[in-house]
Amino acid sequence: MEALLRFGESIVALIIGLAIGAVILYYAGYSPWEAYYQLFYNAVLDKYGFARSLAEAAPLILTGITFAVGVRAGLFNIGAEGQLYFGALGAAIVAWLAYRMPVLNSPLGTIAAYALGVILASLLALIAAVLKVWRGVHEVVSTIMLNWIAFWIVEFMRIHYLFDPHDATKTIPVPPGARLPILLPDSELSATIIVSVGFALLTYYLLWYTVTGYELRASGLSPKAARYAGMDPNKSIIIAFIVGGVAAGLAGAGEVLGRPPHYAITSGLSNLLNMGFDGITVALIGANHPIGVIFAGILLGVLKSGASYMQIFAGVPLEMVRIIEGIIVIALAVPGTLHMVREYLQRRKKLTQLREQEAGKSHGFEGSGLQPSGAQQQ
């Protein structure tokens, strides 16, 4: 029932966002019907358009998992952006090595690229986890700083070491033998969508069907209660960061291994920018649930893919397209945001009540003029 309620809220939010966008389009002098027809028809009903929508959705599902797992553990992990950059860096390094080690121009190179990308992204996530657990540094502060550190490290490597000798605006491309297979010929859709959906389903199993996932969710709801029950909230924090790092690393490596035409990191990381931050929107729309994240990622992929068709076929300027897209995304994210804020306030209220009860008991005991016995003290 809760899942159906969340789904209904998302549908209502989508209708509201579309309605607001239609009003803006109408008063700006454009036909809302034509604009939305071109958006949804080309991005959903056309097989090549839908393939592009799924290609757009693949990394967003994974970065959405990064944020969603963090929320389940009581964290506000916004480090998917930087971790995605490091995942792409791992794949770019293997691509660079493949031209010197022909054995990597094969599926072995694909596996090595994914492995190195996941390792680098997980190490970056682990830095934020260590700062959180052992030094008390808030994850928002640490992950924002790490995002920028990751950006400039990857850009430095792209410019000075991994550049393509024939085109200095990007890294050396992944050789054909190590690329992910294209699922629909002459489209952008590769096996990255299979990796994304598969990892999301694996995360769902981890969170709801394993002891580790139960402890992670329990620690996120109430660290004190979890600790009282014999769980270790710090362990759950570290696991949440590592799982999120693996997801973002897969997303970044997948964009290099399976996204034509570049198969590389482009100048200024332009083909990777904001995918990590868009994952926050995906997680909010999907109610921070792995299954919800899959559908939310596809929906956002449809919007991103359809936006270009709205511009080309309906004649809507790019700036107006971005405005409409932003309005729809904000409307979709509102229900998830309200739920997250409501849950946070409820936890704060319960914690305050517990503290008041403890303080009241202590005050009443002291005011009675009695002292506890030795057994009570023990």
Q: What is the DSSP letter of 356?
A: H
Average pLDDT over residues 96-119: 96
- What's the Cα-to-Cα distance from 298 to each of 54, 148, 241, 275, 293, rounded to whole Å? 6, 28, 24, 14, 9
Closest CA to 94 of 242, 264, 259: 264
Closest CA to 271 of 91, 26, 126: 91
Q: Find out whether 75 and 66 touch, Cβ atoms under 8 Å.
A: no
Average pLDDT in the chain: 90
Closest CA to 252 of 318, 171, 307: 171
Token pair recorded at residue 113: 């690229």
Closest CA to 88 of 142, 153, 143, 140: 153
Predicted pLDDT at 14? 86
- What's the Cα-to-Cα distance from 220 to each of 39, 74, 183, 328, rounded to whole Å? 39, 4, 38, 30
Q: What is the DSSP letter of 180?
A: P
324-369 pLDDT, tens digit per residue, is 888 888 888 888 778 778 877 877 787 777 777 777 766 654 444 4
pTM as predicted: 0.88
191-203 pLDDT, tens digit per residue, is 999 999 999 999 9
Helices first, then strands: H and E counts in the chain: 14, 2
245-271 pLDDT, tens digit per residue, is 999 999 999 999 999 999 999 999 999
* C-alpha span between 225 and 206 (Å, rounded): 21
Rounded to an integer, what is the distance from CA 300 to the centroid of its chain? 12
Predicted pLDDT at 285? 87
266-302 pLDDT, tens digit per residue, is 999 999 999 999 999 999 888 899 999 999 999 999 9
CA-based R_g, the chain, Å: 24
Taking the CB of residue 355, how many other CB atoms lie within 10 A of it?
10
* C-alpha span between 307 and 328 (Å, rounded): 12
Token pair recorded at residue 273: 């920018």
Q: Find out whether 4 and 287 touch, Cβ atoms under 8 Å.
A: no
23-62 pLDDT, tens digit per residue, is 999 998 999 999 999 988 999 999 999 999 999 999 999 9
In which residue are the tokens 């924002």 written? 144
Which residue type does 314 have?
A
Full set of structural domains in the chain with CATH: 2-326 (1.10.3470)
* C-alpha span between 321 and 260 (Å, rounded): 24
Predicted pLDDT at 370? 47
